[in-house]
Amino acid sequence: MVKRETNLVRGGLQRSQFKETSEALFLNSGFVYDSAEDAEAIFKGEQTGYQYSRYANPTVEMFEQRLALLDKSEACFATASGMSAVFGSMMCQLRAGDHIVSASALFGSCRYIIKEILPRFGIEVSFVNGKDLKSWEKNIKKNTKLFFFETPSNPCLELIDIEKVCELAKSKDILTIIDNIFASPVLQSPKDFGADIIVYSGTKHIDGQGRVMGGAILTSSKFKEETLKPFLRHTGPCISPFNAWVLLKSLETIELRVNKQSDQALEIARMLESHSNVEKVNYPFLNSFNQFDLAQKQMRKGSNMISFTIKGTKENAYNVINKLKLFDISNNLGDTKSLVTHPATTTHRILPEDERLSLGITDKLIRLSIGLENIEDIKNDLDLALKY
């Protein structure tokens, strides 16, 4: 079996009869059949062949196979965005009367799905402190079907012990969905710790260059064939072949990008930690991080994401953000360009204030996504912005 780096460049490659070097972009919605009999056989599943790009497409399949190899999962279904991956992974299996337990430290839209949308369909939900295993255990009911969490969480990089939570879930026949978006498949393989379903926003590190939307659900072949595919094929949150092609080509460089960006982020986190105007830095690979041991256990590096609380007020935080020249103000993340955001008033704005504050998302919190610019340039930019 070839190694990871080789899979990132060659995994899933299917050459057409034209023998192109780079993967082909099959930008088409339908496919033709040689005869009515062939069409019938393909629809019945007695003969292989593509039918319609809402079901499957050769470019999309190349992306799915390459990402599955990187993620160490058996199977992948690509989706139009990270949110359609999150929603599809839940709705393909939940029904009225079921119960889901979720960590409360969640990206705003994930929280909206669980808190506002699922209950409309008769699905019960409970939110728990994801770091506390007992809290997961206490909230299990007879009808609990799913556990959901993100680790590291957006934006405070709170970690959840994947192995322990998955172990508990398995002992009660509960499936676990993990949003692995912050770490990316390069830095964390939840499958190694027992996760059943892993979701990604392709929009983040997978593209990593701010171009296209996309998402993916990674799971076992059995779950994909029996549960996921029927739901997604008929409801239609499919990815455009063009977007899948961009993401497929981006996977070729993801390891180089994410590793370098994470190395730079560690240096920046250390610099921020010793800065007189910084109160607290959230970064999993800092020795001072309160879950450093867990980070070492389940992550390969600390990621390119950092959040930190400044000394002062919201106005000081806004001034720091506005003074940054190299960082673009943007709520996206994982990009080769360094980005800065103020979570309390953007990505996590919809959370009730008391919940937001209990998660550490204060007005003084700033989130950074470290890019590929020269490290000294990034440090100088931050240093100048933090002078007040």
Give yes or no for residue 240 binding ligand PLP (CB under 6 A): no
List the one residue from 73, 81, 282, 309 that touches ligand PLP (CB under 6 A).
81
Please give the residues from 156 up to 195 whose contact with ligand PLP meets the rule CB under 6 A: 179, 181-182
56 half-sphere exposure, CB direction, 13 A CA radius? 16
The nearest distance, CB 200 to ligand PLP, in angstroms, is 8
Give yes or no for residue 79 binding ligand PLP (CB under 6 A): no
List the one residue from 69, 92, 110, 187 that touches ligand PLP (CB under 6 A).
110
Q: In whole angstroms, how far apart are CA 42 and each of 26, 117, 226, 231, 280?
A: 19, 36, 18, 19, 59
End-to-end CA distance of the chain: 55
The nearest distance, CB 152 to ligand PLP, in angstroms, is 9
List the one residue from 102, 176, 189, 201 that touches ligand PLP (CB under 6 A).
201
Give yes or no for residue 351 binding ligand PLP (CB under 6 A): no
From 17-25, 104-112, 270-278, 279-287, give the range in contact with ligand PLP by CB under 6 A: 104-112
Query: With respect to ligand PLP, which residue has the nearer C-beta, 137 or 328?
Result: 328
Query: With respect to ligand PLP, which residue has the nearer C-beta, 81 or 298?
Result: 81
Query: With respect to ligand PLP, which residue has the nearer C-beta, 31 or 112?
Result: 112
> Of 233, 198, 214, 207, nearest to 68 (Cα)?
198
Site for ligand PLP (CB under 6 A): how many residues?
16
Query: CA–CA separation, 141 vs 154, rounded Å?
Result: 27
Residues 6+ apart with CB under 8 A from 309: 278, 279, 280, 360, 362, 364, 365, 366
Give yes or no for residue 213 binding ligand PLP (CB under 6 A): yes
From 45-53, 80-88, 97-105, 299-307, give the range in contact with ligand PLP by CB under 6 A: 80-88
Give yes or no for residue 107 binding ligand PLP (CB under 6 A): yes
Residues 6+ apart with CB under 8 A from 240: 80, 212
Cβ neighbour number for residue 306 with a 10 Å cutoff = 24
The nearest distance, CB 339 to ligand PLP, in angstroms, is 11
Query: CA–CA separation, 328 vs 321, rounded Å?
Result: 9
Query: CA–CA separation, 303 vs 132, rounded Å?
Result: 23
Quick check: 216 and 199 in contact, CB under 8 A? Answer: yes
The nearest distance, CB 273 to ligand PLP, in angstroms, is 24
List the one residue from 23, 150, 207, 381 that touches ligand PLP (CB under 6 A).
150
Residues 6+ apart with CB under 8 A from 156: 105, 282, 307, 359, 360, 361, 365
DSSP letters of 313-335? -HHHHHHHHHH-SSSEE-S--S-
From 20-28, 33-41, 105-113, 232-240, give the range in contact with ligand PLP by CB under 6 A: 105-113
Give yes or no for residue 217 binding ligand PLP (CB under 6 A): no
Interacting residues toward ligand PLP by CB under 6 A: 81-83, 86, 107, 109-110, 150, 154, 179, 181-182, 201, 203, 213, 215
